[in-house]
């Protein structure tokens, strides 16, 4: 009888906010860890404030020609229409490199509230939406929110307000980053309106800490890589230290094609394609999948085996279902240079202001008491190409010639725009999901994700309500050209939900510890586990839950069996 002797204790697939904490915690505890990442390993010296590189080309993410996805949407006449993202220009890739999309986040780190864990119990069912309560409570996750603050680095200031969540510590471990004078205008406007304003927590260091530099306030943050290490990406905050521990090996440019399982249902092997196109394999005792929600579901669906004819961990048929994004509204207003000369003389610092007074909406005009959301205020990004592109059309269609010149001049030279970003729950529905496309394949010959996207009307209603509230603040400030709106188009960087966790194996993919109900050594640690995303960006919750699951993995592994020689080469070349 042969004894299974795996290469590593833990194999982590994907290196973003869901994979980094597992690699960090397990390697720090002495377990041997390998991280397989499809993309290359960039460092601070590879990041530039270059809009063309970051946002107009596939410098840091997958090329849609080589790695398309198929997007299926409903036409106005009601029929469904499928189209390759290579043709449409849509992309669900957001940082295919070590550290993943966390390299390019804005770092708005709001926690979920206790109410987010019990939406069904608190607000009741909504027709057409697959709402459930979480199998854990806020108090189960709170110690790990706290851990993210200290380990990843979250700066901010605690405020008392009607929907403030309980905290185990009275303050953030890092003071808030430098604030722009416009923050004072928002404070005054909200005070006049009778609303509470809070300092937006940010995963950005205000000063050097543990080998990372503080923010240099360049004005370029969201969508751009951080060249100081101040932003709390998985790479800068976790993986660099994990590698130094001597127990973690990161293999970049390693595309995992499938996970192999045995006749008992245990996952044994990750099969991957290296940078030279060679197929390689690695074995482990535990596998943690963290490829972002869409690609995690895609990997599981193509990992069939003796016990999994419909895909790994998919006995319930729920892998790929209940795909969610972040819903909400948006808007903006212009502060003219003539009226706000003093405030707009400063460039660089963040506004860092938000209100959560409408996290629960009790407005008869919208019907019964219901879940609301968060309203953040920020400057429009300084990305000139993206901003100019939005001016090419108005309500009458295409704009060109003298009228376009006037719009550009007014937009760029006469003031500074403050943007509203309102977040609310994207309700999970049957017609928002992913499958394997039966026709289109990527450059490795693997079937690509077929993404069907539809939204619940409630998303729009709540989004409009929040956007209008944000517009009220801008108008009170004295902003001009104030607009507010909500749309059903999802922010493709905020994705979750395709491997929902729960206590019932028939209606969920994972148990309360984010372990597969079927494969006892398979965990999913990215946003796929989330039944709902809350009314905030998902990243902090993904980080916190991944640290929580790392503790469950340690308990399952028991005593360490072996470790990598600390003197060995730690980065695969």
DSSP 504-558: -TTT-SB-TTSBBSS-TTEEE-SGGG-S--TTS-SHHHHHHHHHHHHHHHHHHH-
CB of 103 closer than 8 Å to CB of 233: yes
Partners of residue 80 on adjacent β-strands: 74
pLDDT of 77: 78
The C-alpha atoms of residue 555 and residue 149 are separated, in whole angstroms, by 23
Across 512-547, b (16+ Cβ under 10 Å) vs e yields ebbbbbbbebbbbbbbbbbbbbbbbbbbbbbbbbbb
Residue 446 Cα distances to 255, 257, 323, angstroms? 11, 7, 21
Instruction: Tell me the pLDDT tens digit for each residue of 509-565.
Output: 999 999 999 999 999 999 999 999 999 999 999 999 999 999 999 999 997 755 444
Compute the distance between CA of residue 532 and CA of residue 325 in angstroms, rounded to an integer: 9
Write b or e for each residue in 32-53: b if 16 or more Cβ atoms lie within 10 A of its Cβ, otherwise e.
bbbbbbbbebbebeebeeebeb
How far is residue 100's CA from residue 40's CA, in Å, rounded to a whole number? 10
Cα(192)–Cα(159) distance, rounded to whole angstroms?
18
Task: Please report where in the chains the tokens 């004894």 appear, as a residue.
Answer: 3
The first and second tokens of residue 77, run together, are 């006449």
Share of the chain above pLDDT 70, in %: 97
For the cut 70, the answer to whether the pLDDT of residue 418 exceeds it is yes
Supply the pLDDT for residue 409.
86
Residue ranges in 220-332 assigned as alpha helix (H): 234, 240-244, 293-302
Separation of CA 51 from chain center: 21
Cβ count near 442 (within 10 Å) = 17
The predicted structure's pLDDT at residue 564: 42
- Predicted confidence (pLDDT) at residue 43 exceeds the cutoff of 50: yes
Distance CA 7, CA 284 (A): 6
Closest CA to 161 of 106, 111, 99: 111
Query: What is the Cα 213 distance to its own chain's centre?
Result: 23
Tokens 């990442």 appear where? Answer: 37
User: Which pLDDT value is given to residue 386?
Assistant: 84
Q: What is the pLDDT of residues 454-490, one digit of tens each?
A: 999 999 999 999 999 999 999 999 999 999 999 899 9
For domain 8-156+171-557, the CATH class is alpha beta
CA dist list (Å): 157 to 149, 169, 353: 12, 12, 11
Q: Which two tokens stand for residue 535?
A: 């009314």
| Residue 338 CB partners (closer than 8 Å, separation 6+) | none
- Residue 48: pLDDT band (50, 70, 90) is confident
| Radius of gyration of the chain from its Cα atoms, rounded to whole angstroms | 23
SS3 label, residue 203:
coil
**Residue 177 has what DSSP assignment?**
P
Q: From residue 440, how far is each of 79, 117, 301, 321, 437 by CA, in Å?
A: 21, 38, 15, 20, 6
Q: Which pLDDT belongs to residue 565?
A: 40
| Distance, CA of 235 to CA of 46 (rounded, Å) | 13
Count of residues making up the chain: 573
User: Residue 75 CA to chain centroid, in angstroms?
Assistant: 28
What are the structure tokens assigned to 208, written together?
């050097």
Long-range contacts of 336-341 (CB under 8 A, 24+ apart): 336/414, 336/415, 336/480, 337/414, 337/415, 337/416, 339/478, 340/182, 340/185, 340/415, 340/416, 340/478
Mean pLDDT value of segment 110-133: 97
Note the Cα 522 to chain centre separation in Å: 22
The whole-number average pLDDT for the span 25-46 is 96
Sequence-distant (≥ 6) Cβ neighbours of residue 302 within 8 angstroms: 257, 258, 311, 436, 446, 447
β-pairing, 248-251 vs 33-36, is: parallel
pLDDT at 11 over 50: yes
In angstroms, the CA 534 to CA 510 distance is 19
Averaged pLDDT of the chain: 93
Quick one: which H or E segment has residue 62? Answer: none
Asked if 381 and 222 count as a contact pair (C-beta separation under 8 A), the reply is yes
Cβ neighbours for 367, distance < 8 A, ≥ 6 positions apart: none
Tokens representing residue 398 in the block: 């295409």
CA pair distance 131, 124, nearest whole angstrom: 9
Verdict on whether the full-model pTM lies above 0.85 = yes
* pLDDT value at residue 3: 61
Q: What is the pLDDT, as a whole number, of residue 561? A: 55
Selection from 495, 562, 558 nearest residue 521 by Cα? 558
Two tokens, residue 171: 């303050």
Residue ranges of the domains in the chain? 8-156+171-557
The helix or strand, by DSSP H or E, that contains position 281, with its residue range, turns out to be: strand 279-289
Taking alpha carbons only, the member of 327, 238, 244 closest to residue 525 is 238
Judge whether residue 90 has pLDDT over 60.
Answer: yes
480-486 and 326-336 as β-strands: parallel, antiparallel, unpaired?
A: antiparallel
**What average pLDDT does this structure show over 134-141?**
98
Report the share of the chain in percent with pLDDT over 90: 83
CA 447 – CA 39 distance, rounded (Å) = 19
166 or 569, greater pLDDT = 166
198-233 in b/e form (b: 16+ CB < 10 A) is: bbbbbbbbbeeeeebbbbebebbbebbbbbbbbbbb
Q: What does the pLDDT average to over 361-379?
A: 93
Confidence category of residue 494, pLDDT binned at 50, 70, 90? very high
């Amino acid at each position: 009888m042969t004894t299974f002797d795996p290469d590593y204790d833990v194999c982590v697939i994907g290196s973003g906010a869901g994979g980094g904490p597992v690699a960090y915690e397990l390697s720090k505890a002495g377990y041997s860890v390998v991280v397989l990442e499809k993309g290359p390993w960039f460092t601070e010296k590879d990041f530039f404030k270059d809009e063309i590189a970051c946002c107009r080309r596939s410098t840091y993410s997958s090329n849609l020609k080589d790695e398309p996805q198929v997007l299926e949407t409903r036409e106005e006449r009601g029929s469904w229409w499928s189209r390759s993202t290579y043709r449409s220009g849509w992309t669900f890739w957001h940082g295919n490199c070590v550290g993943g999309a966390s390299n390019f986040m804005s770092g708005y780190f709001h926690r979920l509230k206790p109410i987010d864990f019990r939406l069904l119990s608190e607000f009741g069912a909504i027709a057409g939406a697959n709402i459930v309560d979480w199998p854990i409570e806020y108090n189960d996750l709170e110690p790990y929110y706290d851990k993210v603050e200290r380990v990843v680095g979250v700066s901010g200031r605690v405020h008392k307000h009607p929907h403030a969540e309980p905290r185990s510590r009275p303050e953030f471990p890092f003071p808030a980053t430098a604030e722009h004078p416009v923050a004072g205008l928002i404070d005054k406007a909200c005070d006049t309106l009778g609303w509470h304003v809070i300092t937006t927590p940010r995963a950005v260091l205000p000063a050097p800490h543990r080998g990372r530099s503080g923010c240099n306030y360049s004005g370029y943050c969201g969508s751009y890589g951080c060249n100081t290490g101040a932003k709390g990406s998985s790479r800068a905050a976790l993986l660099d230290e994990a590698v130094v521990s001597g127990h973690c090996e990161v293999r970049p440019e390693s595309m995992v094609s499938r996970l192999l399982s045995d006749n008992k249902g245990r996952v044994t092997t990750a099969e991957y394609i290296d940078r030279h196109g060679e197929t390689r394999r690695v074995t482990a005792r535990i596998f943690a999948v963290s490829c972002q929600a869409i690609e995690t579901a895609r990997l599981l669906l193509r990992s069939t085996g003796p016990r999994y004819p419909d895909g790994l961990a998919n006995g319930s048929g729920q892998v790929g279902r209940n795909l969610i994004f972040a819903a909400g509204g948006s808007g903006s207003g212009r502060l003219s240079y003539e009226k706000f000369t003093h405030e707009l003389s400063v460039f660089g610092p963040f506004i860092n202001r938000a209100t959560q007074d409408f996290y629960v909406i009790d407005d008869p005009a919208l019907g019964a008491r219901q879940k609301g959301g968060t309203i953040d205020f920020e400057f429009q990004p300084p990305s000139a190409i993206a901003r100019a592109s939005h001016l090419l059309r108005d309500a009458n269609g295409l704009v060109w010639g003298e009228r376009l010149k006037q719009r550009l001049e007014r937009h760029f030279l006469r003031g500074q725009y403050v943007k509203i970003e309102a977040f609310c729950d994207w309700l999970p529905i049957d017609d928002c999901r992913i499958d394997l496309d039966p026709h289109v394949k990527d450059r490795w010959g693997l079937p690509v994700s077929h993404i069907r996207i539809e939204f619940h009307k409630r998303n729009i209603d709540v989004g409009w309500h929040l956007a209008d509230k944000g517009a009220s603040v801008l108008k009170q400030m004295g902003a001009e050209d104030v607009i507010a709106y909500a749309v059903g188009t999802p922010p493709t960087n905020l994705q979750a939900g395709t491997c929902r966790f729960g206590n019932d194996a028939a209606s969920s993919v994972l148990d309360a510890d984010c372990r597969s109900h079927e494969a006892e050594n398979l965990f999913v640690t990215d946003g796929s586990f989330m039944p709902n995303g809350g009314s905030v960006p998902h990243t902090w919750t993904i980080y916190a839950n991944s640290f929580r699951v790392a503790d469950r993995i340690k308990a399952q592994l028991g005593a360490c069996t072996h470790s990598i020689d600390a003197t060995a080469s730690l980065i695969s070349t």
